[in-house]
Amino acid sequence: MTTDPHRNDRPHNNRNGRFEPSQKAADRAAHAARLRAENPQLTYQQIADAVGYPNRGDAWRAVQRCREAVIREAGAELVASEAQQLDDLFVAAMEILERDHVVVSHGHIVKGDDDRPILDDGPKLAALREMRQIRESYRRLFGVDQPAKVEHSGGVKYEVVGVDPADLT
């Protein structure tokens, strides 16, 4: 019975049930991707030989996995950056919501019969609208909302023009 020297390179399930390569396999794939990036004239067979893959297809798949990982990581960084900006906007809207705003007319504070300034609810309502919009942006960013399911019932009728149905039998 022969032992595969790369047996530890087999993928395994992570906590989310997804397959992920072992650290050794990830390091080999990264080495293959670096070789490809540094020497684009190398063939995938040459990369396979240099890294220890049995064939060029395995080397190609390893490089593709690295490309996909970089894209996923960049996407995750972009989502995190967008989420941080939304967080900042939400905090600014919350600060406006928590402040009292007075009614101003012609450059003067409007006061009630008791000589106290009349509060203006307009800025608070605007802050609430912004907070709702920010929450909707969060939902879109993280894909919380499921797409609407559209059901269609009925049949399709096909008609062949220029052919006598009697000729078809």
Distance CA 85, CA 81 (A): 6
pLDDT at 138: 92
pLDDT at 29: 92
Pairing between strand 104-105 and 12-13?
A: unpaired
Distance CA 78, CA 142 (A): 12
CA-wise closest residue to 32 among 50, 12, 55, 20: 50
pLDDT at 91: 97
User: Backbone dihedral region of 143: left (phi > 0), alpha (psi from -120 to 50 degrees) or beta?
Assistant: left
Pairing between strand 108-109 and 104-105?
A: antiparallel
pTM of the model: 0.58
Q: Please state, in angstroms and as integers, the Cα–Cα distance from residue 148 to each residue in 55, 141, 142, 145, following that order.
A: 45, 17, 16, 9
pLDDT at 17: 61
Q: Please state, in angstroms and as integers, the Cα–Cα distance from residue 19 to each residue in 10, 14, 57, 145, following that order.
A: 10, 6, 19, 27
Q: What is the mean pLDDT of each run of 10 residues along the chain (169 residues)?
A: 47 58 87 93 96 95 92 91 96 97 96 96 97 94 79 73 73
